[in-house]
A and B are shown apart, each in its own frame.
Chain A
Amino acid sequence: MTFLTRSDILLAVQDLSVHFRSEDQVARAVEGVSFDVQRQETVCLVGESGCGKTVSALTILGLIPQPPGEIAGGRILFDGRNLLDCREDEMQKIRGNRIAMVFQEPLTSLNPVFTIGDQIAEALETHADLTSAQRVERCVQLLDDVGIPSPRERLADYPHQLSGGQRQRVMIAMALACHPELVIADEPTTALDVTVQAQILRLFRALQQSHAMAVLYITHDLGVVSVIADRVYVMYAGIIVEQGLRAHIFDAARHPYTQDLLEALPTRSKRGRRLYSIPGAVPNPAAKPPGCPFHPRCRYAIPTCGQQPPGMCDYGDGHRARCPVLFDGGPSHWGQETLTGKV
């Protein structure tokens, strides 16, 4: 792995914890999560629904409703600046301008009563100093970039006049409007047909190259990850269980959960065989098991797993997994909550 200077790291989430408090219980949606995104790279955050990946993303933009949400700890360094310390008006200048987001549901994420031109131009109006004619030109340019045919005519269309795939393209155009350094994409293809999914993924790759931006791509679909990711973080029940380059994850997964996920992935080589499914269900964030949250479903679990939180085990070259049982180093890695300071 190449040596990185500090300035190459665009976003560094450190030890982030987000809790949701209701009357009588606390749901620890995200617990001590750390990851980083370098300039111009695509990082995937993978996990089942409810594992805290969307919450992490919304926290970066300061879009977690508080209450019931509460940020229990950690830092989010964007270009060296802690976003959690920013005031609301400072966050507004970052949102949509330096960090943009593409949401999961293109059907409901566009406002039905405004034309798509209006909605794209709005971000420009807020963040960029352009004349209205320039704004129109930029909108046309953006729609063209995301592959919408005859963009000038489309500007006056309302969202309901577009297909699902086109709406997601509009969402992407909206996100790109102000040349953001980072785009967070929260399962942007989940709600789309498979063929459209592939188109949108290709579009993402192409745009990431041409716009020189970093992408934090959130998904539950390892198939998507294998196409798009430079680096991968696997999340389970609010913690990161494994991280590494795409090749590390797909060819040498070290955490039982990642292994199970890969085994559950339908591929051509597994044709005719019964597909593996992980027994049990994702734990309720308000009542997680003690120790390793995965141990009730884990095939390698030993009694210690239910008693002590597992620490990160380093396999070198940026590949780490939070499973001491499968690590040669053994017991010394128990109880270490985070890996900060230990490489």
Chain B
Amino acid sequence: MSATSPPPSPADGRRMELQVPRRSRWEEFWRLFRRNRLAVGGMIIFILFFGVATAGLFLTAGTQPIFDPALVRLQEKLRPPLARPHVDSLGAQEVPPLGVYLLGTDELGRDVFARMLQGAWVSLTVGFVAVGIAVFIGIFMGGMAGYFGQEFIRIGHLLWAVAVIAGAALLFSGIVAVGLLVGAGGVAGLVHNLTPKRISGRTQRSWGGAVLAQNAMRVDTLIMRFVDIMLCFPSFFLILTVVALLPPSIYNIMIVIGLTSWMGAARFVRAEFLALREQDFVAAARALGLGNFRIIFRHMMPNAIAPVLVSATIGIATAILTEAGLSFLGFGVPPPHATWGNILSDGRQFIFDAPWLTFIPGLAILIVVLAFNLFGDGLRDVLNPKLRERHA
């Protein structure tokens, strides 16, 4: 609905409607955001990094990449940045495309520039996928807790859920037939329990049925206790443990980082949803008879997404740092992929002979993570309604 104007009063046509200058949401956002110079700088680097990472994907991929990050030239090892290659000792394909080792070479004579290009994409993917997983779980959990939080879980639900989990466990431990049976029974029970009953006739409950229908706990309690449990584990060490147990793979790292860092997003979404639930427009939507999912996704999510965006931006920065830390300890993304983290941790043995192997990836990580953090905090300042007040 558009802003309502007061009904025109026929008595006096001279009254004018007062026009307060209004800006669109984006203009307002940009006006506020622009004030924070650090955040604008962060955003520019953020965009640049995207460009470099995408370019890196195209320039280093394929069988005949323009910049080959895996090309070993042992005779050219540890050349400093901007060194010219000894063309006579190299094959035609081994000469770097720009005719110069822009960022030097490493201990195997690989072009650090090519490796950094490839690493930019890998680091970005690790960050994005990990945070994507975390945000997805976080929104789901937080949304459930915030919106359906006051609903009760019945003992019956719990039992059926246990059956589902037990079925899955049996399936995985090889007892397929029994597992399928138990799991399917659990799912059926849950579906039966959760679908709204249309028959309003008097139902006769047995004693057992009454026990199953007892309220056990609130959805909110269940989810938030789970968040508490997850928060008990020191995240870096937990990630390290899990990564150490699983086979080395870039996907495992993304998934593990994602699975251990969704709690913040869940808390934010829950808090937003709890506040939004009380607002009039949600009550109005409910009064109009809109379905829960329409209310959640059309009316509440757009209002709750801001803090999630902020924590996601900062989360990507954290994920890149975590990956670097894992690489340092030898549990990072395994060899065929170059990441900034493993270039940095490989380079540390040569810190005196070839300082660029440490400083180039180190500074690159520093700058990108810094940019993400500054950008994220700038976003938070702008999106925080408390700080948006006129004279605050």
Contact = CB atoms under 8 A, between A and B. Distances in A.
A24 B31 contact: yes
A289 interface: yes
Contacts of B14: 301
Interface stretch (A150-158, A176-184, A291-299): A291-299
Contacts of A298: 15
Interface string A297-338: 111010000000000000000000000000000000000000
Interface residues on B, range: 10 to 19
Contacts of A289: 18
B23 to A, nearest CB: 11
Given A279-B6, A280-B6, A23 B18 contact: no
Interface string B8-28: 010110111110110000000
A142 B21 CA distance: 49
A20, A24, A284, most chain B CB atoms within 10 A: A284
B234 to A, nearest CB: 32
B331 to A, nearest CB: 47
B391 A280 contact: no
Contacts of A194: none
14 contacts: A280-B6, A280-B17, A280-B18, A281-B18, A281-B20, A284-B20, A284-B21, A287-B21, A295-B16, A296-B16, A297-B15, A299-B12, A301-B14, A301-B15
Contacts of A23: 31, 35
Interface string A267-299: 000000000000111011001010000011111
A68 interface: yes
B202 interface: no
A194 B17 CA distance: 34
A233 B14 CA distance: 28
B33 to A, nearest CB: 11
A245 interface: no
A84 interface: no
Contacts of A280: 6, 15, 17-18
A20 B35 CA distance: 17
B197 interface: no
A20 B6 contact: no
A123 interface: no
B35 A287 contact: no
A125 B58 CA distance: 73
B12 to A, nearest CB: 5
A23 B15 CA distance: 32
B390 interface: yes
A224 interface: no
Contacts of A287: 20-21
B15 A299 contact: yes
Given A68-B391, A284-B20, A279 B31 contact: no
A212 interface: no
Contacts of A281: 18, 20
Contacts of A20: 390-391
Contacts of B390: 20, 22, 27
Contact of A296 (B11, B15, B35, B391): B15
B3 to A, nearest CB: 10
A279 B9 contact: yes
A290 to B, nearest CB: 12
B108 to A, nearest CB: 53
Interface in B348-392: 390-391
Contacts of A295: 16
Contacts of B9: 279
Nearest to A24: B31
A298 B18 CA distance: 11
Interface in B1-58: 6, 9, 11-12, 14-18, 20-21, 31, 35
Nearest to A305: B14
Contacts of B18: 280-281, 283, 289, 296-297
A22 to B, nearest CB: 8
A280 B14 CA distance: 13
Nearest to A299: B12
B381 to A, nearest CB: 14
Contacts of B15: 279-280, 296-299, 301
A39 B9 CA distance: 45
A205 B11 CA distance: 43
Nearest to A69: B391
Contacts of B12: 299
Contacts of B35: 23
